[in-house]
Amino acid sequence: MADLSTYQDVIDMVREITQDGDSGYRLISEEHMDIWANECMFEMAEHAEYRDEQVESTLTPGSASISIGGDAIGIWRVEIDDESIYPTTTRDLYQLSRTWQAQTGYPRWYYMDSLRQVGSDNLFLELWPIPSAADDLRVSYTLPGDVLDSGSATEFVMLPLWCVHNLAWGILSKFYAAETRMQNRKAAEFYGIMYEEAKTRLRARSYSKLDLSAQWGAGRKGVPQTDLRQLMPSDGFPV
């Protein structure tokens, strides 16, 4: 199976398997293709945390609020002057001190401000105590891949090359599970198994538990793994 790298490669593969496109897109519209593709990209990013971003800035004395943009999924590390600080909740802070909101000093904890996130694409975190000095701040967080759009399908998919096929499996799983005349629960389950297996491998490699150069079918200690793609009908599932 040829390597895939662009969104157009994935689209072509999905349409070939579903036999869609010979006489126009009668099964999967471009709109639904994009919706399912971006759902899969977000699911993989949320599950595997394979794409990280860091922002660095200087704290403003007297201001505890930090806004993280870029469609961040979740924050996994916050540092003040290269020293990691720890997550907490407003409930824990209330139990610690009734006057916690007025306390200033060197920040040791952070918590998420969920109310400010309503209707916003940004993540908001609050530092505690409120910073009293202009210390250095570094925040590391997880991002999904860039939005996929059929109008610019020649863009590269922001996944490791070995995993781009997984985007096709995810789209096919959602397509066959959808309540349409093409609904096929067995096909949805088949592609769903491959999609979930690759998400698990993506998470493992993201956390450095597997060799990044490992290939499909190469198990630990030389034990071969089943390649489910060998079970796929050569001309796709019947229409």
- For CA atoms 33, 36, 39, 43, the dihedral sign is negative
- Among 142, 162, 188, the domain boundary falls at 142
Predicted local confidence at residue 96, as pLDDT: 84
**Which of these, 156, 180, 147, lies nearest to 3 by C-alpha position?**
156
Predicted local confidence at residue 32, as pLDDT: 92
Rg (C-alpha) for the chain, rounded Å, is: 23
| 73 inside domain | yes
- Among 100, 115, 142, the domain boundary falls at 142
Tens digits of residue pLDDT in 171-230: 999 999 988 878 889 999 999 999 999 999 888 887 764 444 434 344 444 444 444 455
Structure tokens at 162: 């070995």
The strand pairing partners of 127, in sequence order, are 110
Structure tokens at 37: 């593709």
* pLDDT, average across residues 103-112: 90
* pLDDT, average across residues 34-46: 93
- Among 107, 142, 177, the domain boundary falls at 142
73 & 127 share domain:
yes
Number of Cβ within a 10 Å radius of residue 26: 13
What is the rounded distance in angstroms from the CA atom of residue 45 to the CA atom of residue 145?
7
What is the phi/psi pair of residue 104, to 5°? -120, 165
Predicted local confidence at residue 65, as pLDDT: 85
Total domain count, the chain: 2
Q: Using CB atoms within 10 Å of the CB of residue 98, give its burial: 0 to 12 exposed, 13 to 18 middle, 19+ buried.
A: exposed
| DSSP state for residue 56 in the 8-state scheme | E
* pLDDT, average across residues 146-152: 91
| Owning domain of residue 131 | 52-142
Share of the chain above pLDDT 70, in %: 79
In this predicted structure, the answer to whether residue 38 has a pLDDT above a threshold of 90 is yes
Predicted local confidence at residue 217, as pLDDT: 40
Structure tokens at 51: 């794409």
More confident of the two residues 29 and 52: 29
In this predicted structure, the answer to whether residue 89 has a pLDDT above a threshold of 90 is no
In this predicted structure, the answer to whether residue 95 has a pLDDT above a threshold of 90 is no
Number of Cβ within a 10 Å radius of residue 31: 10
